[in-house]
Amino acid sequence: MWMPIRAERRRRCPPVAVFPLLALAAGCADGQSTPDARDGDATVDADDAIVPEVPIDAEDIGPDAEAADVPGDAPVDADATPDVEDASDAGDTADDADAGPPDDLIRLVATAGWQIYPGGGYRYGPSIVIDEFGTVHVWTCSPGGGGAWDYIRYRSSTDGGRTWAAETIALQPTAGGRDALATCDPGVVRIGGWWYLAYTSTEDSRGTDNDLYVARSTAPGGPYDKWNGSGWGGAPQPILVYEGDPAQYGIGEPSLVLADRLYVYYTNLDGTGHTDVATVDPPVGDDWPTRLVLHGPAVVRRPWGEDSTDVKYVDALGRFVGIATIERFGPNSGVAVYQSFDGLTFEPAVWQGARVQYGAHNIGLSGDPEGHLDPAAANFVAYSYNPPTSSWGDWPTFLDPVTVGTAPRGTVVFGRVSSIVGGEPGDWHWSGPRAWDGDAGTVWSSVSHSAADVAEEWVWVDLGTPRELTGATLVPRPAGYGFPIDFALQTSDDAASWVDVPGEAQTGFPNPGGAPVVRTFAAPVRARYLRLRATRLGADDFGNHYLQLAELVPAVSGS
């Protein structure tokens, strides 16, 4: 019998954004610390390192919006601990419980926001809490000093993130301690009267073999006392120790949620990529770091540059939501969304709306001090990004408002493309996610093949799980520019081996103009992935040949 997790306290304020992030590190060729080796992605490949030359203009950054209205709430009972309500709670019926969890997906829809840090250095991995009085609290990883790579800095805003109080150092390494090299990747939760700040550090000068630590304070800006293995204050000791290959990243990048119990999510990179979870059963008292129960992987990351997962609990929808950046540091940077009904096993969910900026990485989602998200409140994502004109480690931080709701199963959760116009750097304005962002007014474009119309280009979309596909809608660029002439619709269960849909190989297809092309399959096909593979391309108004598409929308039985 399925029952949603419910907390005793339900907030009407937004959000803690714990930004899993890049860990800063040492271990680069010149011996200097760089924000690379200790990143939860562990390595940065050639695609990650691209520094394009296309500037981001004011229109791309988005208009300045009114400050978010952040409703208040009553002060927290310092002794209160959320727990699970029983089946007799008002509003829950036997029929509701027997029906199982809702058969839909959580959906985040973004609108273009604004910078909250202009760059010139880095303030990455922001953890954002909006408290019951409307104050926005932000902790970020920032440059350290005196031989330490990173400090965690804190600042606050009382006008919805438009203006900010002066920064202070909330947490820094303990000289001679186990965390002497860095304090980074903040993840914050409030339990009773204490603010708990979990963080990543290492004793390895390569920036690998990371462990997870925590400190606490009665005030969000500190001072913080670090966990010492049996209590608070003194020599820091990790709460979770990585015991794998020391050449691997290890564990870190925490995100904490207080629901029916305390959930501690963290990156675990031991040669594979996943976000693990540990829990603490109530009561969650002073000794909770000694009572962590490990549950293993909660999110198995997709193999396309996906980084750390930030998690919140959505009481109104009866589920957890997690987000991460995917294809990070490049023009096709996007957002991977996940959902879970038990907090232990997550499945892909839906992101639509405004694109994250070029080179986005380490995204976080706002929540209240306990890590809950109220869809009726003002909610945000925030992330660092590497603009085309910036050097490595010069990362502004951007904030986008989001609405939170649901979408039917069979809605696209992710996609990939064969290429992007602009060559090696890639042009963010025509990037891949525009083909599955739910907006027919945005367009993806492959590279130009100039006068040659015979070339292979493709775009595929992911439904998250195998579904019964009955057709597809291909939404062209206005005037049908770049619409394929010879193409096939194909399906796959692994995004590696593709099979043509019977009857859906087209040759000499006429230009549809601006009208959507609706294809109905001769018989349903069960698959997770749908691909459009073009072998002869249409031209734009200058005679250059591309594959260009506004949306690729699968038709799914029952959706």
Q: Tens of pLDDT along 410-422?
A: 999 999 999 999 8
Residue 1 maps to a domain = no
**Residues 117-144: what's their mean pLDDT?**
93
Q: What is the pLDDT of residue 559?
A: 63
For the beta carbon of residue 381, count every other beta carbon within 10 angstroms: 28
Which residue's structure tokens are 């990156």? 267
- Which parts of 79-202 fold into alpha helices (H)? 94-98
pLDDT in tens, 424-449: 778 999 999 999 999 999 999 999 99
Same structural domain, 403 and 419:
no
The residues, ordered by sequence, that sit 6+ positions from 314 with a Cβ below 8 Å of its Cβ are: 106, 320, 321, 372, 373, 374, 375, 404
Q: Determine the Cα–Cα distance for residues 380 and 399; give it in Å rounded to an integer.
A: 7
Contact assessment for residue 319 and residue 344, using Cβ atoms and an 8 Å cutoff: no
* Counted domains in the chain: 2
- And the tokens for 248? 């691997």
Residues 6+ apart with CB under 8 A from 547: 418, 445, 446, 457, 458, 459, 482, 484, 534, 537, 538
Q: Give residue 5's pLDDT.
A: 54
Range of the domain at 498: 415-556
Using alpha carbons only, what angle is made at residue 328 by residues 327 and 331, rounded to the nearest 5 degrees?
A: 80
What's the pLDDT at 89? Answer: 35
Could you give phi then psi for residue 318, rounded to 5 degrees? Answer: 65, 40
4 confidence band (pLDDT: 50, 70, 90): low
pTM of the predicted structure, to 2 decimals? 0.83
Whether residue 384 is predicted with pLDDT greater than 90 in this model: the reply is yes
Closest alpha carbon to 410 in 474, 324, 345, 348? 348
Residue 12 lies in a domain: no
Judge contact between 374 and 316, C-beta under 8 A: yes
Last residue of a domain, one of 359, 380, 408: 408
**CATH number, position 497:** 2.60.120.260
DSSP annotation string for 171-210: E-PPTTSTTTTB-EEEEEEEETTEEEEEEEE-S-TTS-SB
Q: Are residues 355 and 440 located together in one domain of the fold?
A: no
Q: Are residues 150 and 194 in the same domain?
A: yes
Considering the domain boundaries, does residue 7 fall inside one? no
Which amino acid, 185? D
Q: How far apart are the C-alpha atoms of 207 and 181, rounded to whole Å?
A: 9
Dihedral of the CA atoms 28, 31, 33, 37 (nearest 10)?
20
**Residues 208, 121 share a domain:** yes
Number of H helices, E strands in the chain: 2, 32
Per-residue pLDDT tens for 183-214?
A: 999 999 999 999 999 999 999 999 999 999 99
Q: Are 520 and 479 in contact (CB under 8 A)?
A: no
Domain boundary among 378, 408, 438: 408
Please check whether residues 283 and 199 belong to one and the same domain.
Answer: yes
Reported as a pLDDT band with limits 50, 70 and 90, residue 101 is: confident
Q: Is the Cβ–Cβ distance between 458 and 417 less than 8 Å?
A: yes
pLDDT digits (tens, 9 = 90+) for 457-481: 999 999 999 999 999 999 999 999 9
Q: pLDDT band at residue 272, thresholds of 50, 70 and 90?
A: confident
Q: What is the pLDDT of residue 49?
A: 30
What is the band of 271 on the pLDDT scale with cuts at 50, 70, 90? confident
> How much is the average pLDDT of 402-408?
96
Tens digit of each residue's pLDDT (9 = 90 or more) over 290-332: 999 999 999 999 999 999 999 999 999 999 999 999 999 999 9
Q: Which residues contact 525 (CB under 8 A, 6 or more apart)?
A: 468, 469, 491, 501
Which of 368, 390, 408 is the endpoint of a domain?
408
155/26 same-domain check: yes
- On the question of pLDDT at 247 being above 90, the answer is yes
Do 330 and 463 share a domain, yes or no?
no
Q: 369 with 439, same domain?
A: no
224 is a domain residue: yes
- The tokens for 242 are 């990585």
22-49 average pLDDT score: 34
* Range of weakest confidence among 4-8, 30-34, 136-140: 30-34
Whether pLDDT at 88 is above 90: no
Q: Are residues 447 and 377 in the same domain?
A: no
* Cβ pair 198, 152 in contact under 8 A: no
Specify whether 314 is located in the same domain as 447: no
In a domain, 260, yes or no: yes
CATH for 277: 2.115.10.20
Rounded to an integer, what distance in angstroms lies between the CA atom of residue 390 and that of residue 406?
36
